[in-house]
Amino acid sequence: MSRIFSGVQPTGDLHLGNYLGAIRNWVRLQDDYECLFCVVDMHAITVWQEPDELRASTREVAAALLASGIDPRRNIVFNQSQVPGHAELAWIFNCVARMGWLNRMTQFKEKAGKNRENASIGLFAYPCLMAADILLYKATHVPVGEDQKQHLELTRDIAQKFNNDFKKELFPVVEPLIFGAATRVMSLRDGSKKMSKSDPSDLSRITMTDDADTIAKKIRKAKSDPDALPDSPDGFKGRPEAANLMGIYAALSDSDIKEVCERFGGEQFSTFKQHLADLAVDKLSPIQDEMRRLMGDPGYVDGMLNEGAVRAQEMAEPILKEVRETIGFLRK
Ligand code: TYM
């Protein structure tokens, strides 16, 4: 049986990278797989979060998932902290993973920066919690953007080491699902940097709560170069901004980058940006309207998350039992 797990952190506003790299793909996969989609609030607290903002963001991200087209009846949609098994299995994986493996994680190095001594232990052990999220349900496939690839390799290493140590094929070796024209959306201000929630410049990203004028302004101000757009992807060499904006257009219009080059090759950035802004507003505004409607009904969102947590808990419990038994913990 194929089962999907994926997650998103409730830290600040979701951006176009989260949507095109992950959430939109989840919507497409829900017809073919049994899926669990999780708002990972326990991952969020690996760096400081204001409690009221964390609560609001958790609801907002859940609303964004539904507004994007994820059906909470067909799939399990929940927030991580409501299912205690994530923390329990993460501890076990802390004892399986090796310091050397975690030391190699580029995301930790980026996030901890120069001040490594002052980073939380949670930030260091973050990938063990991520492995626990996935393996708590024996998920086999994980749709993510490209930046999560290394974490998924670690998940595979943890599953394999656990299985080897206990001489039992308990955990599946998960497959990443990284697809679409925008697996790595770049900053609008610098085509060599990933679009990210933590970029200090608000102009670097389009968020799921930006209104039409803001989206148009951010695209108009996006970094470009003086040349006309290339008519084939071969022309992207040394032109990361052109590659990024045309990639975003391809993803939003459900075409591929080659077609976008054929259509806009030879045009100036200014003309293309106008088309891109119209397309982005057209695709995002129905999602934003629905998000606003759902945010006006927090009782509904909370109820949906609670129900999701009950279903997730039921799925996790027999797997946790098997894990406890395998390790040698006494039965309750
Ligand atoms: P997070 O919250 O940073 O991002 C959520 C999803 O969005 C994708 N993404 C991007 N895709 C393309 N271009 C970008 N610029 C971009 N930025 C973000 C991410 O790849 C991700 O798929 N550690 C994870 C959350 C997590 C998780 C899990 C994911 C926790 N447990 C288990 C999968 C399975 C994270 O921080 O995602």
Token digits of residue 22: 């992950």
Q: What is the Cα–Cα distance from 52 to 277, expressed in whole angstroms?
A: 33
Q: Say what the pLDDT of residue 12 is.
A: 83
Reported as a single tens digit per residue, the pLDDT across 280-290 is 999 999 999 99
For the stretch 192-200, contacts whose Cβ atoms lie closer than 8 Å and that sit 24 or more positions apart, written own/partner, are 192/240, 194/17, 194/147, 195/15, 195/16, 195/17, 196/15, 196/17, 197/11, 197/12, 197/13, 197/15, 198/12
Active site residue 218: no
In this predicted structure, the answer to whether residue 300 has a pLDDT above a threshold of 90 is yes
Class of the domain covering 202-293:
mainly alpha
Q: Say what the pLDDT of residue 332 is.
A: 79
In this predicted structure, the answer to whether residue 263 has a pLDDT above a threshold of 90 is yes
In this predicted structure, the answer to whether residue 1 has a pLDDT above a threshold of 80 is no
Q: What is the mean pLDDT of residues 271-285?
A: 98
Active site residue 138: no
Q: How many Å lie between the centroid of ligand 1 and the Cα of residue 147?
A: 7
Residue-range domain boundaries for the chain: 3-178+297-327, 202-293
**Nearest residue (CA) to ligand 1, atom 20:** 145
Reported as a single tens digit per residue, the pLDDT across 112-166 is 988 899 999 999 999 999 999 999 999 999 999 999 999 999 999 999 999 999 9
**Ligand 1 in contact with 185 (CB < 6 A)?**
yes
What percent of the chain has a predicted confidence (pLDDT) above 90? 97
Reported as a single tens digit per residue, the pLDDT across 218-250 is 999 999 999 999 999 999 999 999 999 999 999
Helix axes 149-165, 121-135, angle to 10 degrees: 70
Q: How many Å lie between the centroid of ligand 1 and the Cα of residue 331?
A: 36
- Cβ(262)–Cβ(235) below 8 Å: no
CATH number of 3-178+297-327: 3.40.50.620
Q: How many Å lie between the centroid of ligand 1 and the Cα of residue 164?
A: 29
Q: What is the mean pLDDT of residues 73-79?
A: 97
Q: Say what the pLDDT of residue 206 is.
A: 98
Q: Say what the pLDDT of residue 97 is.
A: 98
Q: How many Å lie between the centroid of ligand 1 and the Cα of residue 46?
A: 15
In ligand 1, the atom with minimum distance to the C-alpha of 148 is 20
Q: What is the mean pLDDT of residues 272-298?
A: 97
Q: What is the mean pLDDT of residues 28-53?
A: 97
Q: Say what the pLDDT of residue 331 is.
A: 87
**Nearest residue (CA) to ligand 1, atom 34:** 6
Reported as a single tens digit per residue, the pLDDT across 180-221 is 999 999 999 999 999 999 999 999 999 999 999 999 999 999
Q: What is the Cα–Cα distance from 38 to 305, expressed in whole angstroms?
A: 9
Q: Say what the pLDDT of residue 86 is.
A: 98
**Ligand 1 in contact with 194 (CB < 6 A)?**
yes
Contacts with 181 (C-beta within 8 Å, 6 or more apart), sequence order: 20, 247, 250, 251, 255, 256, 257
